[in-house]
Amino acid sequence: MRVSQYLYNHTMIDKTLLYNTLNKSLLMVDRSLSRSQIEDPASFSESELETLYEFECFVNDDYNETEAARQRLAGHWDKEKTVEFIIHVTNRCNCQCVYCYETGIYRKPIMFDNLAILDSFLCECKLSSLYENASLSFHGGEPSLYPDIMVSLYNVIKKFYPRTQSTMVSNGVLLHTPKVLQALQEVNLKKVLITIDGHRDIHDKRRPLKTRGSSFDNIMHSLEALREANIPIHISINIDKANYREIDYVYEEIIKKYAPKDFYIAKVCSGEQNHYTDCLSDSEYDEIITDFYTRHNLVSNGNNDLYEEYFGTFLCSAKSKNVLIIDSFGDVYSCISLTGDKRYTMGNIKDGFNLIKMRMEAYMSNVFSSSCRTCMYLPMCYGGCQLGKLTMEDNQGCPKKRFDKILPRVLEWKLIKQLNSSPYIKITE
C-alpha cells in the first residue's frame, strides 16, 4: 500500500484536509499531520485506513494513477452524447474593443458559406451514432450582423438533430432590433452571453462602436428586449488593470436585475494578435476573484460555485470530444481564440467525421506522454491551457502555481459549503 500521487493535503489549524484530485473526494482528518505522516499507513487507525483506501488516497503498489486519469477522461467522453458546434459566423464586428484578440486574424471580412459541406459532415455524424443530440453556438466577430445565416445554420443542424438548441456570444448591440430578435426565436436560443465592462463611460471606452455611438446604451435596450422575449441572458465582464474595480457595479446594478445566477468574470489576455499591456497576472486575477466571491457570499449560497469554476469537472473545448469549433471556411479548431489562424487548424469538415478521432488521439498522446503525466494536478486540468502552450512560452499554459496558491482557500470553502451534505466528504474519527 502507498499514498496516491494525486493526493493533496492542507493543514487547517488542528485538522488536515486530504483531497484526491483524481476522483474529487475531500476528507478531513481531525488532527494535523505532516506530509511524512500522511504517507505512512501507521499514522492512521484501521478504520481510517479503510476510508482512505476507499477514496483512493492510499492505493495498491501496482496501481497506475496515470492510466486511471486517462480512463476517467475517456469515460467522461463516453458520456458525452451531445455534439456542440461552435460556429464562427463572421469575423466582421460593429464594435472595436481595445483588447480584441481577433484583430488581424483575417485579411478581409468573410461570412460562413459552407452549408453544403456542413450538411455532408452532419450526415456522417448522424450515421456514426456517436451523438444523440446537437447544440449550436454562434460566435464571431458579431454573429447578429447576419441573422439570416444564423437561421440557415440552425436549420441545417436541426435537420439531423431535431432537438437542437442554440446559444450565442454577442456584444449585445443589435439584439433589440426586430430582425435579430425574430432570428433568435427561430434558432431556439437557450442563452445569450453579453459582455459589460463597467459603468457606461468605462464600457464605451473599452468596447466602443465603430459608428462612435454608445454600445452600452444599445446593450441596455437589448437586455430589456431579451427579457421581454423570455430569452435567457448570461452576462460577463472582461477585467484587466483598468476596470477590475467595476465588478461590483456590474454585479449589483446589472447582474441582479437581468441574470442573477449567470455571471462570468474573465481575465483579458494578451496574445500574438493583440499584444495587450494592461493584463492582470494570474495571482492578481485570483485575488480579485476570491475577494469578490467572499464579499458577496457567493461561495456558500451556491451562486457561481468557485470550486467548480477552478477545480470542477469542466473541460474546455480543447479537451472535449464533443466540441467542434468551425470557422467560415469549414476549418476546425480546438480553441475559439485560435480561430482563423491556419497554423492551428486541425482539419476541415470536408475531410469528414474521422477528424474528431484524430484530434482527440493527438490531444491524448500529447498530454499523457508529457511531463504532465506525473503531476498531481493532471486530473484537474488535463494538460492546462492548450492556447497558452501553443501560442506562448511552455509554462504559460500550466496552472500548477495557481493551484498551489489558491487550492487551500477553495478547499476550505468547499468543506464549509458541503460538510454534512455531500457524499464526497467524510470525517475520519
Query: Could you report the per-residue pLDDT of 83-113, keeping only the tens digit for each?
Result: 899 998 888 899 999 988 776 555 455 556 6
Residue 199's contacts (CB-CB under 8 Å, 6 or more residues apart) are 246, 249
Contact criterion met (CB below 8 Å) for 269 and 335: no
- Cα–Cα distances (Å) from 410 to 192, 267, 385, in that order, read 29, 19, 20
3-class DSSP state for residue 136? strand
Amino acid at 149: I
Range scoring the smallest mean pLDDT among 39-48, 113-122, 167-176, 181-190? 113-122
Report the 10 Å Cβ neighbour count for 88.
26
- DSSP summary character for residue 80: -
Domain 78-280+315-361 is found in CATH 3.40.50.10190: no
Q: What is the pLDDT of residue 14?
A: 77
**Is residue 428 pLDDT above 80, yes or no?**
no
Q: Which of 80-84, 158-162, 277-281 has the highest mean pLDDT?
A: 158-162
**Is 332 in contact with 324 (CB distance < 8 Å)?**
yes
From residue 355, how far is each of 319, 352, 361, 389, 419 by CA, in Å? Answer: 14, 6, 10, 21, 44
Compute the residue count for the chain. 429
- Decide if 89 contacts 141 (C-beta within 8 A): yes
CB 237 within 8 A of CB 196: yes
Does the structure show a pLDDT above 70 at 35? yes
Whole-model pTM: value is 0.84
Which residues have a Cβ under 8 Å from the Cβ of 397 and sit 6 or more positions away?
383, 384, 385, 386, 387, 388, 389, 390
Indicate the pairing of strand 2-3 with strand 58-59.
Answer: antiparallel
Amino acid at 17: L
User: Which residue type does 90 have?
Assistant: T
- 8: β partners: 19
Q: Which of 188, 187, 206, 189 is nearest to 198 (CA)?
A: 206
pLDDT in tens, 220-257: 999 999 999 999 999 999 999 999 999 999 999 999 99
Asked if residue 16 lies in contact with residue 7, where contact means CB atoms within 8 angstroms, the answer is no
Residue type, 59: V
| Sheet with 82-88, edge to edge strand ranges | 263-267, 233-239, 189-195, 165-170, 133-139, 82-88, 323-326, 332-333
Least confident of 157-161, 260-264, 377-381, 394-398: 394-398
Half-sphere exposure of 201 (CA within 13 A, CB side): 0
pLDDT score at 269? 79
Query: Is it the case that residue 409 has pLDDT exceeding 50?
Result: yes
Residue 79 phi, psi (nearest 5): -80, -15
- Cα 411 to Cα 9, 17, 46, 49, distances in angstroms: 10, 8, 26, 22
Residue 405, C-beta contacts closer than 8 angstroms, at least 6 positions apart: 283, 286
Start-to-end CA distance of the chain, whole Å, equals 21
